[in-house]
């Protein structure tokens, strides 16, 4: 999505909200997100779905057993794969704040395997990319991920990939713009 494409599904006017939408906005605003942004704007068209889906994200982002840097790196790999500007622009600063080295972020932005940082960063990036590119993980990669992460954290990486893929595709359809002044991904190479 280029910066000059018009938004397809923006925030409805307050007076146009249904009672169910208004209740969904109140629920998400009362939670740790504190407001309705990004993917939740188009998802508001299906308020019950938005409410249930955002609870999964609330667990992943605010209650996960996954280390914060590994979580944020996983989100960035998903954002890069789907070329999702809001997801990248929102989570790249969070990744930096959670300890993801700039060199790792640069590698992910360029579509490369992270060449620095702790070994788990490259392992999680590889796992996420395999899931996004093939929908599968080979036995050797699974064994390495299981040994490094354990079952619970491994499952949370997989669900993070799926959840943020859902958000990325929703925002790509809606043409959700990146936050003002946020870092942007370069356009993917042609071909």
pLDDT at position 75 is: 99
Does 53 fall in a domain? no
Of 33, 50, 39, 49, which is closest to residue 7 (Cα–Cα)? 39
Q: In angstroms, rounded to a whole number, what is the distance separating the alpha carbons of residues 189 and 36?
A: 32
pLDDT tens for residues 107-138? 999 999 999 889 999 999 999 999 999 999 99
Does 55 fall in a domain? no
Does 27 fall in a domain? no
Does 92 fall in a domain? yes
Does 131 fall in a domain? yes
Of 15, 18, 21, 17, which is closest to residue 48 (Cα–Cα)? 21
Question: Quick check: 171 and 86 in contact, CB under 8 A?
Answer: yes
Structure tokens given for 183: 């870092």
Question: Quick check: 94 and 63 in contact, CB under 8 A?
Answer: no
Domain count of the chain?
1
Which residues constitute the domain of residue 120?
68-165
Does 154 fall in a domain? yes
Does 23 fall in a domain? no
pTM for the model stands at 0.95
- For 102, other C-beta atoms within 10 Å of its C-beta total 12
Domain CATH code at residue 123: 1.20.1290
pLDDT tens for residues 62-115? 999 999 999 999 999 999 999 999 999 999 999 999 999 999 999 999 999 999
Does 101 fall in a domain? yes
pLDDT at position 191 is: 52
Give the chain's radius of gyration (CA, Å).
Answer: 17
């Amino acid at each position: 999505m280029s910066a000059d494409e018009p938004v397809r599904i923006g925030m409805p006017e307050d007076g146009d909200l249904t009672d169910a939408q208004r209740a969904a906005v109140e629920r998400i605003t009362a939670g740790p997100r504190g407001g309705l942004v990004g993917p939740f704007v188009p998802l508001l068209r299906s308020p019950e779905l938005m409410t249930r889906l955002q609870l999964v994200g609330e667990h992943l982002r605010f209650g996960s057993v996954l280390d914060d840097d590994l979580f944020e790196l996983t989100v960035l790999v998903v954002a890069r794969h789907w070329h999702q500007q809001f997801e990248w622009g929102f989570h790249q600063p969070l990744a930096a704040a959670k300890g993801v080295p700039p060199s790792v972020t640069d590698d992910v932005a360029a579509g490369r395997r992270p060449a620095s940082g702790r070994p788990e960063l490259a392992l999680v990036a590889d796992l996420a990319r395999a899931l996004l590119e093939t929908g599968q993980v080979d036995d050797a990669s699974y064994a390495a991920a299981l040994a490094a992460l354990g079952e619970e954290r491994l499952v949370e990486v997989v669900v993070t990939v799926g959840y943020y893929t859902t958000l990325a595709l929703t925002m790509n359809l809606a043409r959700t713009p990146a936050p003002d002044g946020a870092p942007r991904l370069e356009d993917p190479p042609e071909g």
